[in-house]
Amino acid sequence: MKNSIYFVFLFLLSITCKAQSSEEKAVAAAVENLRAGMVNPDKALLSSLTFDALSYGHSSGKVEDKNTFISVLTSGENDFVTLDLSDQTINIVGNTALVRHTLSAKTNDGGNPGNVKLGVLTVWQKDNGKWKLLARQACKLTQ
């Protein structure tokens, strides 16, 4: 009987250890807010989620600053019809979070429908208790 209780305890402990910390949950929420803000662009939301020093790298090699990132989304120049994130990992070191995921999206950039599948690394930093995007770099994955 003691062995059964011991194994149940170890099992529950292993599940608890794998659960997201409150900081990881906060980062995941910020990532989700950014994703939603990219599908339905809102200048105030996107601005609040990003640092003024944002470096936003596309898989093409193009790099945008904060103002350009926001304006191409709000103008419809870059238009995400759908945007799904999968295989996400979050690693927090101090006040910095490294987030990797696969981005799959349907786009309608400049009226041209398309599909993208990208590997993405984002760098988030905590600022006055809030996680904000500092950098992003994408690379193409095979469809």
**Residue pair 101/89 in contact by the 8 Å Cβ criterion:** yes
**Residue pair 119/139 in contact by the 8 Å Cβ criterion:** yes
Domains in the chain, ordered, with CATH? Answer: 21-140 (3.10.450.50)
Q: How confident is the model at residue 111 (pLDDT cuts 50, 70, 90)?
A: confident
Tell me the pTM: 0.84
Q: What is the mean pLDDT of the chain?
A: 90
Answer yes or no: is pLDDT of 17 > 60: no
Which helix (H) or strand (E) segment holds residue 29: the answer is helix 22-39
**Residue 95 DSSP code:** T
The Cα-based distances of 93 to 24, 49, 89, 99, 120 in angstroms read: 11, 19, 13, 11, 18
- What pLDDT was estimated at residue 10? 45
**pLDDT tens, position by position, 113-124:** 999 999 999 999
**pLDDT tens, position by position, 46-93:** 999 999 999 999 999 999 999 999 999 999 999 999 999 999 999 999
